[in-house]
Structure 1
Amino acid sequence: MVIWKQLMLLPCGLFLVLWVLRVSGGAPPSCSFPAIYNFGDSNSDTGGISAAFEPIRAPYGEGFFGKPAGRDSDGRLIIDFMAEHLKLPYLSAYLNSLGINFGNGANFATGGSTIRRPNETIFEFGISPFSLDIQMAQFLQFKARTADLYRQAKNPFERSILPNPQDFEKALYTFDIGQNDLSLGFRKLSFDQLRAQIPDIINQLAAAVQRIYVQGGRAFWIHNTGPIGCLPINLFNNRNPAPGDVDEHGCFKGQNDMAIEFNRQLKDEVMKLRAELPQAAITYVDAYAAKYGLISNAKNEGFKDPMKVCCGYHVKYDHVWCGNKATVNGKEVFGGSCGNASSVISWDGVHYTQAANQWVANRILTGALSNPPIPITQACNRS
């Protein structure tokens, strides 16, 4: 009885995890994933878009790596903390041709990627040409070529930087994508028009999971999209929002409502996929809840105003993007770092700081915000 009362005092998600374990009599076995294959956008890009186009500039990356590291943050991303948690190296970007090691997986994510193929170039609004279907094509080519190269390898070192072909079935396949589909829709469509397109966006994500399943993949870790309306860049573009447009934290309600609807349909689709792919272990991860939980309770968690931006020049209506230079009132201005990113949530107005990424990672990797409520180390076990 004492133990049961103690369980009742835990947060709901963690309570469910422990309740399941108590009823079942033990924890599922750990998975020992040999590799991670990631698909996504800038929230999990570890160097793809930087390799394909103009490299990301300082002060990006300098808070942890000491230099730009292909990441849209001052340091590590959630995918980096996932790799650390699974005791794997940081993922090399598939598009990077130097200093790579694919022995423990590969990252196909690129900043600006969408699920659906875009109809504009990256030079207009930063939307990547490497949409999810292209990332899938790259993965299939990567998997096929790996088998040939592994057979041809002449020594252990050559094999060590290649995936073991047998590991593809044992790997964890992670998805963190969809935010840019909504952001692009906000620019071009009414809310009603965008809402009508969500089912097709979700279906294309589901098709990617099915393609990997056909290739032997069995463990999937799928993040929903975050509270887009809480990105400070919205305030750059909308200087005087009406009082009813924002919530008490400064987040735009309409955009967050669209993200919530996207996430509702994504969760429903995950449930369908579990029925259609009986050998798959598919975990739906509520990253939205973690991120909004941080934003809505920022000060109590040791962070400043969630609308504060660390990197860039933002004075009144003048904005210089992080790492760029511009002339403001006749003077050259550099969009530099605030110097104390560890207490700020937003790094550049769109992406999170390393400290915020770590805070979110600590909440989602335990399984407390997942369906089923299992930690990432057990995500190979079917519910």
Structure 2
Amino acid sequence: MLLLTCTMHANGCYESIISFGDSLADTGNIKQLTFKSNSQPPHFLFPPYGETFFHKPTGRCSNGRLIIDFIAESLGMPLITPSEVIRQHGAIEKGQGVNFAVAGATALDSSFYEAQGVANTCTNVSLGVELEWFKIWLHSIYRTQSDCKNFLQNSLILMGEIGGNDYNHPVMAGKSIDELKPYVPLVINTIVSAINELIELGAKTFVVPGNLPIGCSAAYLTIYYDSDEVEYDNTTGCLITLNEFAEYHNELLQIALNQIREVHPDVNIIYADYYNAAMQIFHTPIKYGFTNGALKACCGAGGPYNYNLLVACADPTSKSCARPETYANWDGLHLTEAAYEVIFKSLFQGPYTTPQFNSLCPTSHIQARDTSSSLVQSF
């Protein structure tokens, strides 16, 4: 098997990757946190999660690699170490990347949702908590302010995706999309505040993802199935109102990012258009090899979209498809490795970032590498 890798790290683009976010970026923190607390393990710590690439569950909410994994590989770096692995098993060397993303995490603090009567059964971690973890780690490795700034100036900061669960959890609790609209400016302000704090610490290059088209999620399609209150896009089968909500979030986020650019012209703020990169798949799934479509989950317990709110993927009564590479949706809420790879290529080797990622870190040195000789970290 061949991977696209490049020598950009060696050529000085980025020395490390620092990641924040939720299950779209978590490479194992939820696994470590679960073991640490002796709590009931979530379903994605069991097979068939991880079956395609790692051949075992790693804490990633997919059958294989995530976008962050493809980014690391493309930059010639090892897969990014979860922060909880570092915290529980010892510090890593200077210059290496760290991933603070946690599955289920929200941008807003858990206390906000508790006040709204919304429970997060996965974790009480928010972006603010992840940022505090990061600062503790940073100052444990780099003792002076100048050392911190030098490290961050040469690092690529991935801000998520974060914010999706700020809407997922309330919807699962029965709140309507109209009830969630006032949350959006609060979520955006939280993301912006975190970016500004990281800029003050010395960070110079950020990738800030927008939200995915949630109206194309098998989970949402199941929740709203046969509802008179929703309208479907005839070209994709996705829910129009929910996708418009995701676009509303993304529009406010881009306005806020433009404001940061004006205040900090020396900082690279890269907007990653997850929404439109993913919509390519939903418009023409066959083009990308998804012969079993883009809306039906590979792993689930039946129903029109193979998603059941009461029976999660990995439950003994659920079933997993034989060829996940032919599905875009993995478990109803998350995508397959194959879909994440399409999105990654569209973003970091294509036109779906603003400004284009290639313009800041040219990919002219991309070369093929045999994965059998590479070190794979599965944590």
What TM-score bracket applies, with the shorter chain setting the length? 0.7 to 0.9
Q: Using the TM superposition, give the Cα deviation of residue 65 of structure 1 relative to its aligned residue in structure 2, in angstroms.
A: 0.5
Letter matched to residue 327 of structure 2: V
Distance 1:78 1:98 in 2: 25
The equivalent residue for 1:210 is: 196
Distance in 1 between residues matched to 2:288 and 2:91, nearest whole Å: 36
The aligned residue for residue 181 of structure 2 is 195
* Equivalent residues of 2:307, 2:331 under 8 A apart: no
Does 2:96 match 1:104? Answer: yes
1:2-32 C-alpha deviation (Å, 9 max, x unpaired): xxxxxxxxxxxxxxxxxxxxxxxxxxxx752
Question: Is the CA contact (8 Å cut-off) linking 2:215 and 2:239 kept in structure 1?
Answer: yes
C-alpha contact 2:64 2:336 (8 A) present in aligned 1: yes
Select which of 280, 298, 303 maps to 2:267.
280
2:212 alignment counterpart: 226
Equivalent runs, 1:274-313 vs 2, <5 Å: 274-303=261-290, 304-313=292-301
**TM-aligned CA distance change 1:183 to 1:241, over 3 Å:** same
Q: CA deviation at 1:301?
A: 2.1
**Counterpart code for 2:207:** W
For residues 38-80 of structure 1, what are the alpha-carbon distances to aligned partners after superposition, in whole Å with 9 as ceiling and x for unaligned?
A: 0111001001112112261111001100111110011000000
The residue identity in structure 2 corresponding to 1:355 is A
Structure 1 window deviating more from structure 2 (33-42 vs 55-64): it is: 55-64
Residue equivalent to 1:237? 223
- Is 1:75 the counterpart of 2:64? The answer is yes
Decide which of 168, 171, 179 is 2:152's aligned counterpart: 168
Residue 24 (structure 2) pairs with residue 43 (structure 1):
yes
Q: CA deviation at 1:307?
A: 1.7
TM-score (norm 2): 0.80
> Residue type matched to 1:129 in 2?
N
Structure number, greater radius of gyration:
1
Does the 8 A contact of 1:116 with 1:131 survive in 2? yes
Give the Cα–Cα distance (whole angstroms) in 2 for the partners of residues 49 and 255 of structure 1: 27
Q: In angstroms, what is the RMSD of aligned CA positions?
A: 2.6
The 3 A distance-change label for structure 1 pair 174 and 145 is same
The one-letter code sitting in structure 2 at the alignment partner of 1:138 is: W
CA contact (8 A) 1:31 1:377 kept: no
Q: 1:65 to 1:271 in 2, by over 3 A?
A: same
Question: What is the alpha-carbon distance in structure 2 between the residues aligned to residue 66 and residue 190 of structure 1?
Answer: 39
**CA 1:101–1:344 in structure 2 vs 1: closer, same or farther (change >3 Å)?**
farther
Q: Distance in 1 between the 2:264 and 2:137 partners?
A: 23
Are the structure 2 counterparts of residues 242 and 259 from structure 1 closer, same or farther at C-alpha, using a change threshold of 3 Å? same
Q: What is the TM-score normalised by the length of structure 1?
A: 0.79
Tell me by how many angstroms 1:133 deviates. 0.5
**Are 2:27 and 2:81, in contact at CA under 8 Å, matched by a contact in 1?**
yes
- Please report how far the alpha carbon of residue 309 of structure 1 lies from its aligned counterpart in structure 2 after TM superposition: 1.0
Which residue number in structure 1 is paired with residue 13 of structure 2?
32
- Give the number of aligned pairs: 329
CA deviation string 1:115-158 (max 9, x = no partner): 1112458x954353110011111111110111259xxxxxxxxx
Q: Does 1:258 align with 2:258?
A: no
Residues 242, 306 of structure 1: alpha-carbon distance in 2 compared, 3 angstrom cutoff: farther
- Partner Cα distance (1:67, 1:201) in 2: 34
Deviation at residue 99 of structure 1 after TM alignment: 8.8
Q: Secondary structure at the match of 1:37?
A: strand
